Structure 1
Amino acid sequence: MPRVSFAPPYLCLTFLPLLERLLPSLPPTVRDVDVPPRFREQFILSGYRPVDLSWRCYVLSLLQIHNETLSVWSHLLAAVYVLVRFLVFAVLQGGGILGVRLQGLEGQGFSVDVSSLPLVLYVFSTVTSLSCSAAVRLLHSERTHHSLFFLEHVGVAVYQYGCALALCLYSSDTAWTQSMLGQIFLPVVAVVVWLSCIICCYADLHLHRPYLWHRRICQVVPRGVAFLLVISPVTHGLASHNWANPSTLPLHFLQVALFLLSAVFFSCPVPECFSPGRYDIIGHSRQLFHILLSICTLVQQEALFEDLLWRRQALVREFGEERLLLACASFLGLTLCCVMTALVIKRRTPVQLLKEGR
């Protein structure tokens, strides 16, 4: 009988050493006592990655089981879904969204549907925020601690304003739009979101873990106030039972419920406080917060798609083209302000660390 050889192919023998160099074996996770205090989460006792790994190891830890794995994947998958779903909607239902086409037979230029620009900015802000949050959780090393958290705060601020822009223009009812809050909504949101970004960056630089109550307040209160203000067009419609597009009512109700539930897990370390160490890998509060907020974002996006189709024809007539363009330009201004704020505070990081002897 012919012999069967199980020897690995020659190419495998050639590339295996190279593959081992490119994909090194990752060190096992460690306990909370093995990482600096600022990397510890309350009641989470294990599943931490060592803080002195290379960039390559942190990237490869995407495929490792640790206490941030589900948080990272929930944001990455949500970001991909938001982008793909938007492209599908743009092609199949949105008419290309921006309606870019040659004008006239002679091709005199391009036309842009300004009514869809807020949706484009919303999708951009959502993908930016989810990507920044995933990067913070994945690449959180001792060298990049402050820089990554500043990046996350900018991403959250950009998302909050992008969300406010879309909800204000697509999902608000006439009574809210004509109210005093509706008239000054975007400038107020811009100021509140910017202040929230400043306070969160300041707290990360000056208020250190573990578990300072004033640090938690500096995180929860500004973001909570900003988000409650951002979704006020939706909550007003739900409370007044005066909803222009009844088909999106369940979606908006669900997004508000998911946001409030995620805020509970962001504020309180449950369920891990009842059984420290039991929910280290699956089920701790920060993980549940990220998953619920990702689902909330997906639901919110679907509601905005429906609201855009409902109000698209009347949007320019109701708000005016100049006001829509000015609102979209304010998004870029807010983004620039938050980025510059984070860079200015980041420049103070070495001085602050030297002052504290760290």
Structure 2
Amino acid sequence: MLHYLKFTTFPVIAFAVMHVMFQGGPWMYAGIVALVMVVAVGDLLLPEDRTEPRFNNEFFLNFMLWLTLPLLMWVTLLFSWGVSSHDVLGLDGVMKDWFGYDRLAIQANTTWYQWFFGAVAGAFLFGAGGTNVGHELTHRTYSPRDMILGRWMLAFTCDASFAIEHVYGHHKNLGTPADPATAQRGDNVYTFVIKSWLGGYRSAWKLEKQRLAKFGYSVWDPIHSRMMRGNLMSLSLFVSAYALGGWWAVAMFWVMSAGGKTLLEIVNYMEHYGIVRRPEDKVEPRHSWNTNASVSTALLYALTRHSHHHAEADQEYWNLRSYRHAPMLPTGYLGTILLTLVPPLYKRVMTPLLNHWDEHFATPEEKKLAIEASLKSGMKGLKSAQLGKQQQAQSMSPATV
């Protein structure tokens, strides 16, 4: 039973955080504080979750995923209602009588920057819920229901195109220069986010254009083009936010949407940072950074077991194995995300991990690629860069001429 209950972590935290935050005022900071204290600190203090139980009740495990879409709608509705200049859908009386929310009092006691920090917490819900669960469901290309639900979840972060590029692009190209979602050694997270954001959209557009060309359709055709339908889905959410709460609601939704998308790109940054692979080689567990941190594993539906996910992309999250001997991140997902925000610190932490990967995981061919990547990175302390410099010096010495 405990193994089932751990996968209720996201909806429980999401509902609890939203309830507390909508007391207004300083309570708007509660979401950020809870995420750091519960997730990042929890990952550091609790033992790793290496369990690999057999699950029989798959409906419950799927229901936890399906619950994410109404939850995202609820978060959007609450923020749109909270900042609105009028009574949205007559909710004022209902929310006050049933839940004790006095919207006018909340507005009066909440500053714009407190709303902003509340929206940042909402962005984590959009990312950890919408993007992460959408990622899980859009891998299920055999299930039209899950594909539709997953694309709608991704639409909250204006990223329905992710279902195309990630499944048919990233999983094929990871670890190579052709993959915009693979961070090269020395990449700065802030520039990477923009590069991966734009590169991923371009890749998805190209893949969809090539697919539709086979049937004589245009990528601009909203009936047949998944790209255009995805764009329209996201646009409909912005229009809904405006209808509910005006431009302030649009601003809140934009912060949550853009923040959730940024969170995805930061996760992309750290999941394959500095790992190299030849395009002709099979994707293996060693080509992804893994972690079995307990809270991250439960909260993110085992996305943290990324090595197995890339080895067998069609596996449901409850079947992912811990792969304890795979390359490991320094801590759980939120803790690592916080590290990436300080690039010099992140590079210092990752340098010994990259040295370990080069020595223990890279094939002879990949060691050559690692030398090139390390030299190009300019990072200090990479042994493969030192080896490359020695090889360059030997090739230039008179004795070798």
Bigger Cα Rg: 1
* TM-score normalised by L of structure 1: 0.30
